[in-house]
Amino acid sequence: MKTVYFDNAATTKVLPQVVDEMAKLLNETFGNPSSTHSYGRNAKAIIEQARKTIAKQLNVSSSEIIFTSGGTEADNLVLQSAVRDLGVKTIITTKIEHHAVLNTVNYLQKTFGVEVIYLNLDENGQINYTQLSQLIESKSNVLVSLMHINNEIGTILDLKKVADLCQANHALFHSDTVQSIGHYNLDLQDIKVDFIAASAHKFHGPKGVGFAFVRKNSGLKSIIFGGEQERGYRAGTEAIHNIVALNKAFTLAYRDLEHDNDYITQLKTYFKEQLLISFPDVEFNGESGNLESSTYTILNVRLPFPPEKTSMIQFQLDLKGIACSRGSACQSGSTKKSHVLSELLTNEELEKPSLRFSLSKFNTKAEIDYVIETLKSI
């Protein structure tokens, strides 16, 4: 059976070079990075080199890169410590954030009585920047938490604009950049965000490793108690094999960024064109059909099929070897509809089948043609 993978927003295929780097490390370097003997020093040096590579690309100090188990831990580190240690009383966010943010914010509201304000959104998932400005001007001890690229509809936040607004009003700014790190150049000296989260498995690295950027002198503290690893921000022996693999995937992602961006943009353009030819009444959720204001990797499609097709369409595609999704993979075990689309679409629109196709450098036009023909048969 032919198999086609269009669920790269959930996770990506690990590059062979990354696997090789990881295997080499596991075979040759097993010292504990906290040990003072040569085995430990060697392991520590490898971690610090990875930290420097990432910091240089983002134009920050290496001391501001903290390795974590992934984006969820990085989000939790920032949000929980900001309330516990930095005196944050108000969190401004949206209802279409990743659940790593939404559920953490909900916990902080219930446990610490933090005020949570959800910004108004337009039909494409864009925030109201005027509302944000007015809110942070009128409040004190504020943390703004907004994702750079929405993982379901691909809408892009103006990261610099929000960072400038926050800086001008002495508000902290945290952004979940899990869908953008490895896909976009970010100069964090120009973009004055205080904290970001990243995850290796979104840019062809392994699962179980990521990093947080924590701007110098923020006052943030660890939420995991134990040793003094990661400059005291994250206790626990570092998973050096994962960190090395993250670094390799990160390096390759930025080495090939321009080429991969151009190639995947062409795929997305072709996919959109073919959908419109075959299904003239197709709609694109959020701004995913707009190549200028959405990420080049995500196309969220609302098909002009009857509602009774909705519940079985993904299953039928899977039978044909096609992997895509109806929303975030983190909610795949839930019977609820996408929380993102539920905020943006009418009840009538929600009844129609929506599918998220997310692309990578490994996809081809032939695979898109196969998806189109399969949808026609359904």
- pLDDT tens digit sequence for 103-114: 999 999 999 999
Active site residue 330: yes
- pLDDT tens digit sequence for 173-186: 999 999 999 999 99
Task: Taking residues 216-221, report their average pLDDT.
Answer: 95
Task: Taking residues 319-332, report their average pLDDT.
Answer: 78
Which amino acid does the sequence have at 22? M
Residue ranges and CATH numbers for the domains of the chain are: 4-12+257-377 (3.90.1150.10), 16-255 (3.40.640.10)
Q: How many CB atoms lie within 10 A of CB 271?
A: 22
Task: Taking residues 113-117, report their average pLDDT.
Answer: 98
Q: CA separation (Å) from 257 to 193, 264, 290, 370?
A: 22, 10, 20, 27
C-alpha 212/C-alpha 68 separation (Å) is: 7
Task: Taking residues 283-303, report their average pLDDT.
Answer: 95
Identify the band that residue 326 occupies on the pLDDT scale cut at 50, 70 and 90: confident
Which residues, 6+ apart, have CB-to-CB distance to 105 below 8 Å? 79, 91, 93, 97, 114, 116, 145
- pLDDT tens digit sequence for 3-22: 999 999 999 999 999 999 99
Task: Taking residues 239-262, report their average pLDDT.
Answer: 98
- pLDDT tens digit sequence for 45-63: 999 999 999 999 999 999 9
pLDDT at position 1: 73
* Lookup: tokens for 27: 């075979």
Choose the weakest-confidence range: 21-25, 58-62, 271-275, 289-293. Answer: 289-293
Identify the band that residue 330 occupies on the pLDDT scale cut at 50, 70 and 90: low
Q: What is the average pLDDT score of the chain?
A: 95
Q: Choosing from 224, 291, 330, 350, which is the catalytic residue?
A: 330
Q: How many CB atoms lie within 10 A of CB 253?
A: 22
Residue 332 has pLDDT above 60, yes or no: no
Q: Which one has a higher pLDDT value, 319 or 308? A: 319
pLDDT at position 333: 43
Residue 75 has pLDDT above 60, yes or no: yes
Task: Taking residues 151-177, report their average pLDDT.
Answer: 97
Task: Taking residues 322-336, report their average pLDDT.
Answer: 67
Provide the 8-state DSSP code for 204. T
* CB half-sphere exposure, 55, CA atoms < 13 A: 17
Identify the band that residue 334 occupies on the pLDDT scale cut at 50, 70 and 90: very low
Residue 329 has pLDDT above 70, yes or no: no
Residue 328 has pLDDT above 70, yes or no: no
pLDDT at position 130: 97
Strands 195-199 and 298-302: unpaired
pLDDT at position 327: 66
Which residues, 6+ apart, have CB-to-CB distance to 187 below 8 Å? 58, 59
% of the chain exceeding 70 in pLDDT: 97
Task: Taking residues 199-218, report their average pLDDT.
Answer: 98
The pTM of the whole model exceeds 0.85: yes
Q: Region of 92 please: left (phi>0), alpha (psi -120 to 50) or beta.
A: beta
Task: Taking residues 191-212, report their average pLDDT.
Answer: 98
Q: How many CB atoms lie within 10 A of CB 190?
A: 10
Q: How many CB atoms lie within 10 A of CB 219?
A: 11
